[in-house]
């Protein structure tokens, strides 16, 4: 593992444990402890062959989900994400439609039953490297995105679900 990956994990952990973020994600106080991405002290003696049952269980609850993929991401191509979503056998509620930033198409969304939305991010590679449109985001030296209020993820969530994840 590269040193920048540990730093990224640290940033994600700080973000996920921020009270404003938890509030924006509607995490009820006292229901969840300290979040960490990977707990390396867990003795692994159980393998998960498929995550589909877990996602089915989550989607049957009251939670909404936003799944997104960059259309230029060769690490996790959006076609693979689409195939995974298809395996869930959800009905399509709202077929492909564009979402925009400043009157430019920034990607496409498709809404499924069970409160799940899939979105593509135009010209996106390496997680969320949006190019060509001023989205008020900053990309650090490792090319990982640090979203600010009003950034692409924020705009996408607002357009699709009517709320924003960034509340700071």
CATH 3.40.50.11320 fits 53-168, yes or no: yes
Task: For residue range 125-143, list pLDDT tens digits in order.
Answer: 444 444 444 333 333 333 3
Number of residues that this document lists for the chain: 168
**Long-range contacts made by residues 37-41, C-beta under 8 angstroms, separation at least 24?**
37/9, 37/12, 37/13, 38/9
Q: Where are the alpha helices (DSSP H) in the chain?
A: 3-16, 19-24, 52-59, 78-87, 152-161
Q: What is the pLDDT of residue 109?
A: 92
pTM, 2 dp? 0.51
Task: For residue range 8-64, list pLDDT tens digits in order.
Answer: 778 888 888 999 988 888 888 888 888 877 666 766 677 778 877 887 787 788 788
Average pLDDT, rounded, for the chain: 72
């Amino acid at each position: 593992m590269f040193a920048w990956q540990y730093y990224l994990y640290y940033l994600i952990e700080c973000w996920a444990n921020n009270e404003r973020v938890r509030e924006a994600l509607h995490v009820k106080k006292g229901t969840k402890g300290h979040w960490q991405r990977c707990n390396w002290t867990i003795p692994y003696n159980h393998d998960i062959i498929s995550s589909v049952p877990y996602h089915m269980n989550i989607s049957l609850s009251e939670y909404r989900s936003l799944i997104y993929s960059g259309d230029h991401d060769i690490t996790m191509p959006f076609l693979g994400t689409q195939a995974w979503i298809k395996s869930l056998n959800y009905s399509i509620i709202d077929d492909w439609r564009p979402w925009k930033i400043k009157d430019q198409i920034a990607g496409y969304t498709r809404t499924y039953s069970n409160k799940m939305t899939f979105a593509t991010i135009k010209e996106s590679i390496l997680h969320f490297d949006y190019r060509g449109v001023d989205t008020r985001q900053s990309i650090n030296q490792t090319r990982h995105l640090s979203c600010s209020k009003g950034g692409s993820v924020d705009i996408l969530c607002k357009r699709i679900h009517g709320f924003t994840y960034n509340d700071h």
